[in-house]
C-alpha cells in the first residue's frame, strides 16, 4: 500500500503533462479562426470583418454634390418660373432668414410626395451609408433640406412643409432600405448579396470603395 501511494504523485504528473501536450497540439477556437481584427458590432447594419470609421468629410462632399445636381436641374426647368416670386438677390435671402418669406406651398402631388421624398432619401442615405448614426444622418438630411429651400430655391418662398417632409420621409424610406441592404450583404448567397446594390446603393458603394467586407450570417 505504501508503494502504491508513493506512485500517485508520479502518475498525476504524467497525466498533467499529457493533458498539457494535447492542449498544445490542438489549436484553440480563437486560433482556428482567421487571423483578423475583431469586428465592430455597435450597429447590426455595420458589421464588418475589421474596424471602420465614420466619414464626415465624404458626407459633406456628397451632400454638396446632390444639392448641386438638384440646383442644375432646377435652373433649367422652366416650369418652376410660376413660383419665382422673389429676386435672386440678398434681400430675398434676408427675408427667408428673418422668417418673412415662409409659406406652405401648393405644388403638385408628384413634386411634394415623390421628388421631395426622393431627395430626402438621397440626403439621408448619403450620411447614413457613410456609417453615421441615425440622429446624425437625420440632421444632415434636415440641414440639406433647409439649405435647398433657403438657397437652392432662392427665387421662391421657403416652404415649411418641404423643410419638414423631406428629411422625415427620407428617414422613413432610407433607414428600412439600408437595413434591408445590410441584411442582403450578410447573406452567403452571391445572388442575394447582389440585391444590396438595389436596396441600399449608397452603402454598397461605400463599402466597396472602403474595402469593407460584411460579416456573413451563420451557416
Q: How far apart are CA 50 and CA 192, in angstroms?
A: 22
C-alpha cell at 139: 440632421
Q: How far apart are CA 59 and CA 202, in angstroms?
A: 11
Among 9-18, 51-60, 79-88, 163-172, the range scoring the smallest mean pLDDT is 9-18
Give ∠ CA 51-56-59 in degrees, rounded to 5: 115
pLDDT value at position 190?
Answer: 92
Average pLDDT, the chain: 83
The 10s digit of each residue's pLDDT in 150-170 is 999 888 889 999 999 999 999
Q: How far apart are CA 140 and CA 148, in angstroms?
A: 12
Q: How far apart are CA 218 and CA 215, in angstroms?
A: 9
Residues ≥6 apart with Cβ < 8 Å to 205: 129, 197
Mean pLDDT of 89-99: 88
Mean pLDDT of 67-81: 86
Mean pLDDT of 98-121: 86
Task: State yes or no: pLDDT of 56 exceeds 80.
Answer: yes
Mean pLDDT of 7-20: 44
pLDDT value at position 196?
Answer: 95
CA distances from 170 to 150, 157, 159, 161, 209 (A): 19, 22, 17, 14, 24
Task: State yes or no: pLDDT of 212 exceeds 90.
Answer: yes
Among 98-102, 123-127, 145-149, 173-177, the range scoring the smallest mean pLDDT is 98-102
pLDDT value at position 199?
Answer: 96
Mean pLDDT of 117-142: 97
Task: State yes or no: pLDDT of 27 exceeds 80.
Answer: no
pLDDT value at position 9?
Answer: 43
pTM over 0.75: yes
CA distances from 56 to 83, 133, 172, 174 (A): 35, 11, 22, 18
Mean pLDDT of 5-10: 42
Amino acid at each position: 500500500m505504501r508503494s502504491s501511494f508513493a506512485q500517485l504523485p508520479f502518475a498525476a504528473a504524467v497525466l498533467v503533462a499529457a493533458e498539457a501536450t494535447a492542449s498544445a497540439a490542438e489549436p484553440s477556437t480563437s486560433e482556428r479562426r482567421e487571423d483578423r481584427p475583431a469586428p465592430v458590432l455597435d450597429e447590426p447594419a455595420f458589421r464588418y470583418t475589421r474596424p471602420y470609421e465614420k466619414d464626415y468629410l465624404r458626407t459633406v462632399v456628397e451632400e454638396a454634390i446632390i444639392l448641386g445636381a438638384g440646383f442644375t436641374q432646377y435652373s433649367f426647368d422652366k416650369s418652376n418660373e410660376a413660383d419665382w416670386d422673389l429676386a435672386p438677390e440678398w434681400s430675398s435671402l434676408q427675408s427667408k432668414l428673418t422668417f418673412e418669406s415662409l409659406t406652405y406651398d401648393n405644388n403638385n402631388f408628384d413634386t411634394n410626395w415623390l421628388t421631395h421624398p426622393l431627395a430626402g432619401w438621397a440626403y439621408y442615405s448619403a450620411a447614413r451609408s457613410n456609417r453615421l448614426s441615425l440622429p446624425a444622418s437625420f440632421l444632415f438630411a434636415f440641414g440639406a433640406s433647409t439649405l435647398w429651400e433657403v438657397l437652392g430655391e432662392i427665387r421662391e418662398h421657403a416652404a415649411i412643409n418641404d423643410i419638414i417632409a423631406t428629411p422625415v420621409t427620407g428617414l422613413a424610406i432610407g433607414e428600412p432600405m439600408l437595413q434591408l441592404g445590410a441584411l442582403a450583404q450578410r447573406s452567403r448567397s452571391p445572388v442575394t448579396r447582389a440585391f444590396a446594390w438595389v436596396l441600399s446603393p449608397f452603402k454598397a458603394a461605400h463599402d466597396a470603395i472602403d474595402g469593407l467586407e460584411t460579416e456573413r450570417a451563420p451557416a
